[in-house]
Structure 1
Amino acid sequence: MTLWHFFLYQFFSPIRQILVQFRLTENELDNYLSSNRLNIMLDFDLLKSITIPQLLKRVCELYGPKPAFYFFREGNWSSLTYSELGKAVEGIAAGLLSLGHSRNSKIALWSENSPEWCQAYLGILSMGGTVVPIDPLLKPNELAGIIRHSESEAIFVSPKCLDTLEQLLRTGITFKSIFLLDGNEASSGRIPLAQLSEKGSTSERRLPATSNIDLAALIYTSGTTGNPKGVMLTHKNILSDIWGIFKALKLYSSDKFLSVMPLHHTFEATCGFLVPLTGGATVVYSRSLKSRELAEDIKANAITVMLGVPLLFEKFWLGLIRNIQSKSWLTKLYFGLGFNLGAWLPKPIRNPWGKYYFSALRRKAGLESVRLMICGGAPLSPEIPKNFDILGMKFLQGYGLTESSPVLSLNPEQGYEYASIGFPIAGAELRIDEPDADGVGEILAKGEMVMAGYYRNPEETARVLKEGWLYTGDSGWQDQNGLFHITGRLKNIIVTRAGKNVYPEEIEREMLKSPYIAEALVVGRKIPGGEEVYAIIVPNYEFIQQEGQLQGKIYDDRYVEELIRTEVSLCCQNLADYKRIKGFEIRRQELEKTSTRKIKRFMVKSPVAISEPEEISRQKKEVRI
């Protein structure tokens, strides 16, 4: 067989396989898949009336010996079954009651991801309490503010957070109880989780009955604005959201979810923990966020569902491309031809094409088992879902807020749009408030997944909840097919001298397409009569240095500045003139972020205003375009 014949065979073989696959009718295929679907059969009305502990009890009875979690300890992968989970949770709940904690008690949970985090979360809810999940990366003063505001009377803490806890205790904050998520021996009044569970197992205290309108979680927003608020989510809020997700997606009890995002974040807590738990799927906790270890974890555990924020998937994609670039010319040619053809093919057959054509690539990359990627938490460049779609992997974008438990919309698995945030999930309503001439306005949301309000903050609650509608603070529009699109945050809008609205997120997405730019923050720079578009850029120094060495170029500040100037111009060439960046500055240190990798805009120093129309700032670090 000649090389030409080989390529022809490789190109047309996937098409032949697709045609064979289509011999199965849609109903036949769905019936086959549904035999393995998550089989917790709850109708919507029933879900409205139960609580998370009641759901957990039924799930543990249904899936007893099946692994609920996989985690890496002492050089090996270990598991915790549903039966073991149920027993541990019941013990923790009874143990909390025996120590004097009661229904409606608020208990903080401060730790990195682990099965113990989940046990503590469910144990707090099972004794009728309210869990207060806290970011383990917070500084003592930030933690103190949340503890005081939430009125948390006890705390579960991991060993990694103990030093910060000691600093916190020296400020005068006290707890009725302090529990260690790891370890077997009590010390200085700290009670290990295992000991708490054992204490509860010998207790005769009955677990209290709870209501679905009881407060389940008090979640403090990530603080990108510098003003965290306590979001009150009831059992009904969270379970309504879970039901809507099940109606939108086909999920199976054989699924394995990879957990990489922090569990204190609502997206991971609901979608990466409670959703798989609801139907007997398995959650696998990754060892780290390093690309190599992530790939190994995916392959070792045959992961089927990945959840993440845009940055995770962008890095994943760049890692795949770098791996291809290191291969032989024949591999690069094979990939390039197939990728370009996949991009050209009509959308209905693009994914099936990639599934067959790139099967070897996915297998070598450890992605063979992954059937669904779901992205949320921040706006995403449409190129990323398109790229994964070409490789034969379904990539869906959703939308939501902490205030909505969090999911409000999801792209459908069939016929999804790369640039869209999809349709509202079952039980949710979305509408555009006061749309402008382009149909853009604030996104409003309604549904039983919407929060009860902000804790001890009636003024802010009244500002965002009006006549049952949640004012999200996000701007967007709805297309003729009913799909919603998000343009950005209303508070970030830049208003030019001509009165044009510019959405920074749109420009940032264009900038981040460049391999030379690691981070980009677009802001409005004040000028007489309005604002101009200005960018703060962190170059991808590692990539620039590698390329400079390969090409024999001198790698210095001047070279980087000219390179970034060129990239900024290229990234803006498809934007309207009023949206184009007029100036930028380069920073060497990465911008400060939340634990979900969102840039803390309020922490970034704003550019100096221009006082005269003809003035061009002569600041040493600024570059004009």
Structure 2
Amino acid sequence: MREFSLPALYEVPADGNLTDLIRRNASLHPDVAVIGRKVDGRWQDVTAAQFLAEVRAAAKGLMASGVQPGDRVGLLSRTRYEWALLDFAIWSAGGVTVPVYETSSPEQIQWILGDSGAVACLVETEAHQEAVESVRDRLPELKHLWRIEGAPQGESAVERLREAGEGAGISDEAVDERSALADADSPATIVYTSGTTGRPKGCLLTHRNFFAECGNAVERLKPLFVTGESSVLLFLPAAHVFGRLVEVGALLAPIKLGMVSDIKNLTEDLAGFRPTLMLGVPRVFEKVYNGARAKAQADGKGKIFDKAAETAIAYSRALDTPEGPSFGLKLKHLVFDRLVYSKLRDVLGGRATHAISGGAPLGERLGHFYRGVGFTVLEGYGLTESCAATTFNPADRPKIGTVGQPLPGSVVRIADDGEVLLHGEHLFTRYWNNEAATAEALSEGWFHTGDLGTLDEDGFLTITGRKKEILVTAGGKNVAPAVIEDRIRAHALIAECMVVGDGRPFVGALVTIDEDFLPRWLKSHGKPEGLTAADLVDDAELLADVQKAVDDGNAAVSQAESVRKFRILPTQFTEASGHVTPSLKLKRNVVAKDFADEIEALYQR
């Protein structure tokens, strides 16, 4: 057994709650832009004073509509300005926010709103409203349903709430009195876990959890959170706990927070908002790298890009040595900075020097590449139950290839069987309406993550797999799928990869093709435009290139753990298809069931 901890850097207020942040900001920094909102394609600043006023106005409407202290209120929307506004309005009215992913099915919506006992729900679109209405007869406690955009009355939910508050004559003082009722240990939100197996569990997080998480994270990363100078662009789902970390952390610092709905126009949004800090998942950074490399190859500059990438990686690795980069390496790095790296930084907005990545391993090679080009990706690790990040790499001395050191004020322990255990004020209180699951996950103050990992002598954690995802081949070899899957998935051609082989004679894999990269691959191989993965599952050239990705993945594991056969699937693993969660984790049991025939084919003679 091994454990590591760091002293707390932030003291959680004993009798405060998260609404104190927006009143403090309005008092100390009234004219500082705390949020950027996009209106008709243009970014507009919202000052701390303006944000407080808009939150109070919406909270008045919730109070006028009968929302009482402790009531649960659903929030079903993509990431946008109104998400943060309504989240703080719910808290200011004394309520508990229940996030719902905007891609949720009616059945999932019914489960989350029904299990939480939500008395009201705010939705973004007409389609969301229809989804809630379709199950409303099974939600007896749901009294109110408001729509953020395109409401039939011609007014948004925010406007309707403002008018309701004004009509009821509720004062700012009444809102502040209601806001003050919750203390640090009061429930702030119930976040339903993505549910890779079974029904999602409602994870109850308190105001204390968010203070401990965000306060210590901001203090540990202090150089990246400078009021009036720093900014962060959030394009991940705000319904996910990682998104909430960004929202609350930015307002705690405070720094300017930008919120956009998706990554389809990410390059444009980065150029317009120009953040100094980015948050993302490895797939985003993989796509940026693969896209830049593919463009360079299309322009006849592939060899230059590859040499620049190797130089960046070598330069980053040299930074971790006592002697540092050699003079010759520094010179090569300077040349490539002008030719390649500066252009790549421009794609990322031009000002960002750091990013925080979570959800899955980025990979050591890609981590060194980004640091080498002047854009350091700080990997972290966390779960809904740990209120997002429970470990992360410090900005001043990251250890690439790890997920960093424990959140200050918390403890990470590696049990005798290799499981990662957590302890600290940032940990969830309980699962809502689920005592059995709570008792299974929490034991004597320690949260059992279900993840396997190791701690080095400096307390840096490396995740090596999941206890429940360990495959045991017919030969008795234990295989952790994550290691090889992450390496294979890093290839530009691969969208997803799932390793199989439990009880089988060898390890196999199901692979899907990246739809964004496929057109470039078709062009470079002289094949007709418009062909899909379904048309190419038996194409010799495609199979050969996928084999290269598999070979690269195999290089990371032993021969007994390596993938010996794979199948290209004619479809994608998506949230809509039910094969991945909203946080892009594979639902292995669903994939195994839906593609049972393909798995079986791997093992036919």
TM-score if structure 1 supplies the norm length?
0.83
Give the corresponding residue for 2:512: 538
Q: 1:347 to 1:48 in 2, by over 3 A?
A: farther
- Match in the other structure for 2:362: 380
| More displaced 10-residue stretch of structure 1: 512-521 or 341-350 | 341-350
CA contact (8 A) 2:122 2:148 kept: yes
Instruction: Tell whether the 8 Å contact from 2:282 to 2:362 is kept in structure 1 after alignment.
Output: yes
- Residue 606 of structure 1 deviates from its aligned partner by 4.6
1:45 lines up with 2:17 in the alignment? no
Letter paired with 2:165: G
CA separation of 1:489/1:463 partners in 2, compared to 1, >3 Å: closer, same or farther? same
The answer on whether the counterparts of 1:524 and 1:534 sit within 8 Å (CA) in structure 2 is yes
| Corresponding position: 1:572 with 2:554 | yes
Alignment of 1:281 with 2:255, yes or no, is: yes
1:101-160 Cα offsets, whole Å, 9 max, x none, are: 211111111111111111111111112211101111001011101111100011111124
Residue matched to 1:413: 395
- Which residue identity does 2:464 align to in structure 1? T
SS in 1 for 2:492: coil
SS in 2 for 1:45: coil
Other-structure match for 1:180? 147
Q: What is the identity, as a one-letter code, of the residue corresponding to 1:382?
A: E
Task: Determine whether 1:104 maps to 2:84.
Answer: no
Q: Structure 1 residue 91 and structure 2 residue 44: aligned?
A: no
Within 2, Cα distance between the matches of 1:305 and 1:219?
A: 25
Match of 1:297 among 269, 276, 291: 269
User: CA 1:343–1:383 in 2, change beyond 3 Å: closer, same or farther?
Assistant: closer
Whether 1:434 aligns to 2:416 is yes
> Which is bigger in relative contact order (C-alpha 8 A, separation at least 6)?
2
Shift of 1:603: 1.7
C-alpha contact 2:34 2:45 (8 A) present in aligned 1: yes
Q: Residue type matched to 1:112 in 2?
A: R
Given candidates 146, 149, 160, the residue that maps to 1:195 is 160
Q: For residues 317-374 of structure 1, give each alpha carbon's deviation from its aligned partner in whole angstroms, at most 9, with x where no partner exists.
A: 2122223223354xx5554444333333312556995795555323543542111111
Higher alpha-carbon deviation: 588-597 or 560-569: 560-569
Question: CA contact under 8 A between 1:47 and 1:240: conserved in structure 2?
Answer: no
Amino acid at match of 1:452: T
Cα distance in 1, alignment partners of residues 421 and 148 from structure 2: 39
* CA distance in structure 1 between the partners assigned to 2:373 and 2:81 by the alignment: 33
Which segment drifts farther, 566-575 or 303-312? 566-575
What is the aligned counterpart of 2:582 among 595, 598, 613? 595
Distance 1:457 1:619 in 2: 35
Residue pairs, 1:213-292, within 5 angstroms: 213-249=185-221, 250=223, 251-253=225-227, 254-270=229-245, 272-286=246-260, 288-290=262-264
CA contact (8 A) 2:72 2:118 kept: yes
Contact 1:49–1:236, Cα closer than 8 Å, also in 2: no
Q: Distance in 1 between matches of 2:16 and 2:134?
A: 40
Aligned position for 2:576: none
Give the direction of change, closer, same or farther, for the CA distance of 1:618–1:398 in structure 2 (3 Å limit). closer
For residues 333 and 510 of structure 1, what CA distance do their matches in structure 2 show?
22
In the superposition, relative to structure 1, how do residues 624 and 486 fare at CA in structure 2: closer, same or farther (>3 Å)? Answer: farther
Provide the rounded CA distance (Å) in 1 between the counterparts of 2:313 and 2:117. 54
Alignment correspondent of 1:153: 119
What does residue 339 of structure 1 align with? Answer: 309
Residues 165 and 500 (structure 1), Cα distance of their counterparts in 2 relative to 1, 3 Å cut? same
Counterpart for residue 403 of structure 1:
385
Classify 1:579/1:394 alpha carbon distance in 2 versus 1 (closer, same or farther; 3 Å): same
Q: 8 Å contact 1:72–1:287 — kept in the other structure?
A: no
Deviations 1:162-190 (A, max 9, x none): 22122222556552222222357748xx9
Counterpart contact for 1:53–1:125, Cα < 8 Å:
yes
Q: Give the distance between the partners of 2:543 and 2:551, measured in 1 at CA.
A: 12
**TM-aligned CA deviation for residue 452 of structure 1:** 0.5
Contact 1:255 1:281 in 2 (8 A): yes
Deviations 1:581-614 (A, max 9, x none): 13322211111222222222232125999xxxxx
Q: Return the alpha-carbon distance in structure 1 between the equivalents of residues 233 and 515 of structure 2.
A: 30
Identity %: 26
Corresponding position: 1:309 with 2:281: yes
Determine if contact 1:226/1:602 at 8 Å carries over to the other structure: no
8 A Cα contact 1:296 1:366, kept in partner = no
Please say which structure displays the higher CA radius of gyration. Answer: 1
Aligned: 1:493 with 2:470: yes
The answer to whether the 8 Å contact 2:474/2:502 transfers is no
Residues of 2 paired with 1:239 and 1:145: CA distance?
29
Structure 2, unaligned runs of 5 or more: 1-7, 529-534, 574-578
Moved more, 80-89 or 166-175: 166-175
Q: Which amino acid aligns with 1:274?
A: V
Q: Secondary structure at the match of 1:604?
A: helix
The separation in 2 between residues aligned to 1:185 and 1:79, in whole angstroms, is 28
Contact 1:112 1:262 in 2 (8 A): yes
Q: Which of 430, 436, 440 pairs up with 1:463? A: 440
Alpha-carbon distance between aligned partners in 2 of 1:99 and 1:618, rounded to the nearest angstrom: 53
Letter in 1 for 2:204: M
Tell me by how many angstroms 1:389 deviates: 1.0
Distance 1:446 1:540, change over 3 A: same
| Cα distance between partner residues in 1 of 2:271 and 2:204 | 38
CA distance in 1, matches of 2:348, 2:461: 33
Give structure 1 stretches of 5+ with no counterpart.
1-41, 436-440, 610-616
For 2:141 and 2:470, how far apart are their aligned partners in 1? Answer: 42
Mapped contact 1:522–1:536 kept (Cα < 8 A) = yes
Secondary structure, in 3 states, of the residue corresponding to 1:583? strand
Which one of the candidate residues 465, 469, 484 is aligned to 2:461?
484
1:621 deviation in Å?
Answer: 5.3
2:421 alignment counterpart: 444
Q: In the alignment, what sits opposite 2:452?
A: 475
Distance 1:365 1:481, change over 3 A: same
Counterpart Cα distance in 1 of 2:595 and 2:66? 56
What one-letter code is carried by the residue in structure 2 that aligns with 1:361?
A: K
Other-structure match for 2:539 = 558
Structure 1 residues 139 and 574, CA gap change in structure 2 (3 angstroms)? closer
Other structure's SS at 2:563 match: coil
Aligned counterparts of 1:256 and 1:380: Cα–Cα separation in 2: 23
Residue pair 1:125, 1:131 contacting (<8 A) in 2 also: yes
How far did residue 223 of structure 1 move? 1.5
Number of residue pairs the alignment of both structures matches: 562
Cα distance between partner residues in 1 of 2:520 and 2:281: 27
Q: CA deviation at 1:211?
A: 1.2
Letter in 2 for 1:454: Y
The one-character-per-residue Cα deviations of 1:50-91 (angstroms, maximum 9, x if unpaired) are 210112210222222222222322233233222111011122
Aligned to 1:325: 297
Q: Is the 8 A contact 1:399 1:409 kept in 2?
A: yes
TM-score relative to the length of structure 2: 0.86
3-state SS of paired residue (1:47)? coil
Shift of 1:287: 5.6
- 2:130 is matched by which residue type in structure 1? D
Distance 1:622 1:498 in 2: 17
**In the alignment, is the contact (CA less than 8 A) between 1:572 and 1:580 conserved in 2?**
yes
Judged with a 3 Å threshold, the aligned counterparts in structure 2 of structure 1 residues 540 and 110 are, in CA distance, closer, same or farther, namely closer
- Secondary structure in 2 aligned to 1:409? strand
- The change in CA–CA distance for 1:380 and 1:57 in structure 2 (over 3 A counts) is same
Q: Which residue of 2 aligns with 1:126?
A: 92
Match of 2:5 in 1: none
- Give the equivalent residue in structure 1 for 2:591: 604
